[in-house]
Chains A and B, each alone.
Chain A
Amino acid sequence: MKGTQLGEFEELVLLIIGVLYPEAYGLNIRQEIITQTGRKVAIGAVHSALSRLQDKGFVKSELADATHERGGRRKRLFQITASGKRAMEKNHELRNSLFNQISDLALKGLNFGETN
């Protein structure tokens, strides 16, 4: 099932929804991505990811009250659901466990171009 997988960009959006809670909506998620990661993304890309996350049941959303700076349009606020939280945790654990399995030697061997 496609609902079980969390893509890289989707995970990023999911995390940022958590960071911005309870005020996460399309535009500020995009701005947060730009400021935190330096990645230039289009508004459409964020919306697309949000819609996928919602389809997979990782986030839920509701329309907030209208504000005047949006020409009277309501914004859609996003929250992480329980299964979204689980998917995030699963990803996090998987990474940590994989990272911990890397032997010290391998990391030392790769001194990442630093001299000592």
Chain B
Amino acid sequence: MERRTKEYQPPKWANRFLGWFCREELLEEVKGDLLENYLLERKTKSEWRAGVSYWFHVLHFLRPFALKRKTQDSNFNIMYKSYFKFAWRNMQKHRMNTLMNLLSLSVGIACFIFISIYINKELSYDKFHREADSIQRVVIDFVDDQGVRIPDATTPPALSLALEKDFPEVEASTRLFPAWGSKFLIGTSDQQRFYEKGLIRVDSTFFDVFDFPVLHGNLDEALNAPDKIVITKSMALKYFSKVDVVGETLTVYSFDNKPHLVSAVLEDIPDNSHFDFDFLTPLTFYWINKNWGWFNFYTYIRLSPESNSNEFENKLQPYYETKVTNPNDKNNIIYTQPITTIHLRSNLKFELGANGNMSNVYIFSALGVFLLIVSCLNYLNLSIAHSFKRLKEVGVRKVYGANKRLLIRQFLVESFLILIVSLILAVLFSELLFLNFDELLGSKISLLDADNLSILLTLSLGVLAFGLFLGLYQALFLSSHKVSNAVRGIFGSTGKKKYRLQRGLLIIQFTISSFMILGVLVVQRQLNFIQDQNLGLDVNQVLVIENISSVNNLDLFKSQLLNIPAVESVTSSNGMIGDFYSTTSLGYPNSFVMNFVNTDPEFIETLGLELISGRNFNSALEVDKQGLQMIVNEQGLESLGLELGDVGRLLPLDKQKGDSIVYGTVLGVVKDFHFRSFKNEIKPMALFYNDDGVNFLSVKLATDGLSESLEKIESKWKEFSNGTSMDYAFLDQTFQTLHIEEQKLKQVLLYVTVLAIFVAMMGMLAISNITIQNRKKEISIRKVLGASLSHISFSLTKRFVLLVIVANIIGIPIAYRVMTRWLEGFAYRTSIDLSTVLIVFGIGLLSVILTAGLRASNAGRKNPIHGLRTGG
């Protein structure tokens, strides 16, 4: 009968698939047509392509007319209907249980979604550039005479051009010259102008390296003349109230007062770019193109895709050493950073924006995974506990002829039902989280964004796999019992094993919880520690006004401010806490890097520094203002190799051209003070009496009438600055923002931990419920025989207490290690002491008492007669 041509066989699986879904009565003609077509195609096409085409045609039979009919009262339909009905009845019968299940699971999944999207965003930085993998930032670390390496993101202006010329693998390069904290007055006319800080000056090759989405204009010619300017969409809307503004003009009052032609409008810079800008204008400082000694440009290069970045990096250092003119610079270390790693891994001085932190990403991912594990374990635990109650049902089903396969189907339907509902709940819940935490994430996010769809998909698959496992497990476990025992609701010997598994799961849950509790406590302690640290300066009631270069007569303005009664003192400086970024090389013959600030005699009083030796600057003495007299902090004094007694002595500072040595004097010494985040140690710092680059005005205010004095200061400001608005901040707030990452961490950690404890407690509650129910008779007998309530409660609770103790013994040492590592990231840190550990223990025990203990004492109070009559 088989007369088929043996050599040509259509794909077996396609045929099998067809047979599965296609109606019997159509199968013969359909298969015949398909085979005939296949044989025809095999004459002209390859086996593979004919196979694909065969599959294509098979799939095209997935149409209503060809599908097997499932009539309404087919066995199949009725069975599934009954599964759903039973699932629904079961959920209703144990409403509390169902609710707990749904809640704990969806909360866990929602948090996981939230955290994975956060991490996804952190990892996505700068990947939107088309050739993101080939873009590198070249940076140079300073190395001083003592061999101390000071990481620095800036490079000399000559570097970019030289690299492009001398290295064939460098396909494009560009320099960035940011605003360095100053603001530019930009406007369409004299009436409509604003101070803008998002202006970066770049080479015309900027868009050869980076890809920012453009809305209007031609990027190839956008920056090829000095009078061009590229702006973002929101700036176009701000100045012109429309988006297509190519050809309009904007005047940059601050540097050349000339109209600039808008040559392109970009989409707003994505959140996941490590630098941000609103305006781009071409660099016009041609005279510095050969300068190897200045460090104030950022250099980005794009390597050719086939080149090896390591090889390139190896060639850099010798090349750099041949180029530099200053012999000191030869010690510096030049290297490259892939642009995609900058956000999470680079923490250099002068970063273009605040970067993230890889260790936070690790901590967050651990949290997400932990919480998901806890809630899945919990669900597993609850449903296993719950399935004991259903042993009877399973027994009866078996008596009526249900086999393993049918039971599996039923439990699968039930677990899928719950999981799908909780998945939907979780998605809704995570959307809610996104709405409330967009500040934390720094941007608006939704799970339903196309970018995040893959996360949703993976998660759904994971959840469904979990449901499959769970349903199978339940069904196999329950159907493994002898029918005769099952009908009576008696577990075989496996019952005890079951408890062992559940206890194991509980231990894991509580281990994770105790780990997280300890984590939260340590982060909390560290943040408190930071806040209570003696800063060495008084940041309260200090108002910092930015941009005072736009004030016409600074001295007059200062003296007018002092006339306001609430103003205690006023000082101007070229940097502020967190922003003290000026450094200079100091000391001869051994030079080191000294941080410095240009300021005036009032600085010490306004910021509440403590002068421990010597004297303050004196405005009457001209010699104080020459830049060679300074006040240093204790670190600075030590780095200069001096002691307190040396104050006032002449010391060599630097070697000028022609080998003449410059001498200076330390006028006074102030106590060390924190001028950067607590992650950094206090570095040497010097104050100079000088108004170079002065841009900040700090005003110390009296405690009361704050808003009133603020108003007065603002009105004075208006008088002196041609009506531009005043930018100000309070110093204590600025100081807090230095630790924003840790604040975020604390917040998220706290929420997640509370949730984890909550979920673990639910598990505990459910298990203790079951235990008590199974021991009802025992409790009643004990009571009848005269056991006290406390005795009964204790005998019921002690197992759980033991459980939590074991969990803590496992969890705390691990958490201790991890958190000690985290603390090592801080220069000033607290320690983990015994009391913290005890608190963790306490919280664990408290949660046992709140769940199992209460449940037990409740059971102990019941009239024993009920237990004796009905208990199993």
Q: Do A44 and B60 have beta carbons less than 8 Å apart?
A: yes
Q: Do A69 and B39 have beta carbons less than 8 Å apart?
A: yes
Which residues of chain A are within 8 angstroms of B57 by Cβ–Cβ distance? 42-44
CA distance A57 to B130 in the complex (A): 60
B834 proximal to A (CB < 8 A):
no
CA distance A27 to B29 in the complex (A): 10
A95 proximal to B (CB < 8 A):
no
Interface string of A2-33 (1 = CB under 8 A from B): 00000000000000000000000111001000
Q: How far is the CB of B34 from the nearest CB of chain A, in Å?
A: 6
Which residues of chain A are within 8 angstroms of B36 by Cβ–Cβ distance? 27, 69-70
Q: Do A48 and B33 have beta carbons less than 8 Å apart?
A: no
Query: Which of A72-80, A83-91, A102-110 lines the interface with chain B?
Result: A72-80
Which residues of chain B are within 8 angstroms of A73 by Cβ–Cβ distance? 28-29, 31-32, 35
Chain B interface mostly: helix
CA distance A47 to B33 in the complex (A): 10
Which residues of chain B are within 8 angstroms of A26 by Cβ–Cβ distance? 29-30, 33
| CB nearest neighbor in B for A61 | B29
Query: Which of B1-9, B297-305, B434-442, B702-710 lines the interface with chain A?
Result: B1-9
Which residues of chain A are within 8 angstroms of B369 by Cβ–Cβ distance? none
B43 proximal to A (CB < 8 A):
no
Query: Which of B61-69, B267-275, B318-326, B592-600 lines the interface with chain A?
Result: B61-69
Given contacts A43-B33, A44-B63, A48-B63, contact A68 B3 (CB under 8 A): yes
CA distance A71 to B62 in the complex (A): 23
CA distance A72 to B32 in the complex (A): 8
Partner of B37, one of A27, A72, A76: A27
CA distance A25 to B28 in the complex (A): 13
B56 proximal to A (CB < 8 A):
yes
Given contacts A43-B57, A44-B57, A45-B60, contact A74 B32 (CB under 8 A): yes
A52 proximal to B (CB < 8 A):
yes
CA distance A26 to B4 in the complex (A): 20
CA distance A76 to B61 in the complex (A): 17
Q: How far is the CB of A113 from the nearest CB of chain B, in Å?
A: 36
A51 proximal to B (CB < 8 A):
yes
A94 proximal to B (CB < 8 A):
no
CA distance A111 to B7 in the complex (A): 56
B26 proximal to A (CB < 8 A):
yes
A82 proximal to B (CB < 8 A):
no
Interface positions of B from 106 to 131, Cβ below 8 Å from A: none
Q: Do B60 and A42 have beta carbons less than 8 Å apart?
A: yes
CA distance A43 to B57 in the complex (A): 6
Q: Do A76 and B56 have beta carbons less than 8 Å apart?
A: no
Q: How far is the CB of B64 from the nearest CB of chain A, in Å?
A: 8
Q: Do B29 and A74 have beta carbons less than 8 Å apart?
A: yes
Q: How far is the CB of A34 from the nearest CB of chain B, in Å?
A: 11
| CB nearest neighbor in A for B34 | A43
| CB nearest neighbor in B for A71 | B4
CA distance A63 to B62 in the complex (A): 23
Interface string of A33-61 (1 = CB under 8 A from B): 00000000011110110011000000000
Which residues of chain B are within 8 angstroms of A42 by Cβ–Cβ distance? 56-57, 60
Partner of A75, one of B33, B60, B63: B33
CA distance A102 to B2 in the complex (A): 60
CA distance A27 to B32 in the complex (A): 9
B1, B56, B65: residue with the most chain A Cβ atoms closer than 10 Å: B65
Which residues of chain A are within 8 angstroms of B29 by Cβ–Cβ distance? 25-26, 47, 63, 73-76
Contact residues of A with B, CB < 8 Å? 25-27, 30, 42-45, 47-48, 51-52, 63, 68-76
- Given contacts A51-B26, A51-B65, 18 further A-B pairs with CB under 8 A are A25-B29, A25-B33, A42-B60, A43-B37, A44-B57, A44-B60, A47-B29, A47-B30, A47-B61, A47-B65, A70-B36, A71-B31, A72-B2, A72-B4, A73-B31, A74-B29, A75-B29, A76-B29
22 pairs from A and B in contact (CB 8 Å cutoff): A25-B33, A26-B33, A27-B33, A42-B57, A42-B60, A43-B33, A43-B61, A44-B57, A44-B61, A44-B62, A44-B63, A45-B60, A47-B66, A70-B32, A70-B35, A71-B31, A71-B32, A71-B35, A73-B29, A74-B29, A75-B32, A76-B29
